[in-house]
Amino acid sequence: MQEKDPGIEGLIDFLSIVGRLKRLPRTGWVEAGIKEPESVADHSFRTAVLAMIPADLEGLDSDKVMRMALLHDLAEVETGDLTPDQKSERGGAYASEERRASGRVLSPLPKALSAA
């Protein structure tokens, strides 16, 4: 039996990690008592679509803008979806925690992708 390419394994691991965002409800909606709140994945999808439209209208690099929108919440797989108040309570520690979490989430990807 042939071994799987570690690059493919990494992609599968990454997609599995990202898939967890589908089951992570948005904290602000939960705290507001919203029944069946949107997930972080729901939010990320809408953010990417919302980012694409003005980027296209303004002649910006919509691929880059959508990439930024899709990546902006990936760390929440590890940090959880924190409200702005919760992030402020953690102060500067949250920013470094988020950077480390982003690095871990992206780490299964090939270096050329995880550094992008």
Residue 1 is assigned to a structural domain of this protein:
no
pLDDT for position 3: 45
> pTM to 2 decimals?
0.84
CB atoms within 10 A of CB 76: 23
Residue 10 near residue 109, CB atoms below 8 Å: yes
CATH of the domain at 21: 1.10.3210.10
Residue 33 is assigned to a structural domain of this protein:
yes
Residue 93 is assigned to a structural domain of this protein:
yes
Local confidence pLDDT in tens for the 116 residues of the chain: 454 455 788 899 999 999 999 999 999 999 999 999 999 999 999 999 999 999 999 999 999 999 999 999 999 999 999 999 999 998 889 999 999 999 999 999 887 777 75
Residue 50 is assigned to a structural domain of this protein:
yes
Residue 114 is assigned to a structural domain of this protein:
no
Residue 24 near residue 45, CB atoms below 8 Å: no
Q: Which amino acid is at 71?
A: L
As a whole number of angstroms, the distance between CA 35 and CA 49 comes to 24
Range of the domain at 84: 6-107
Residue 40 is assigned to a structural domain of this protein:
yes
Domain count, the chain: 1
Residue 112 is assigned to a structural domain of this protein:
no
Residue 58 is assigned to a structural domain of this protein:
yes
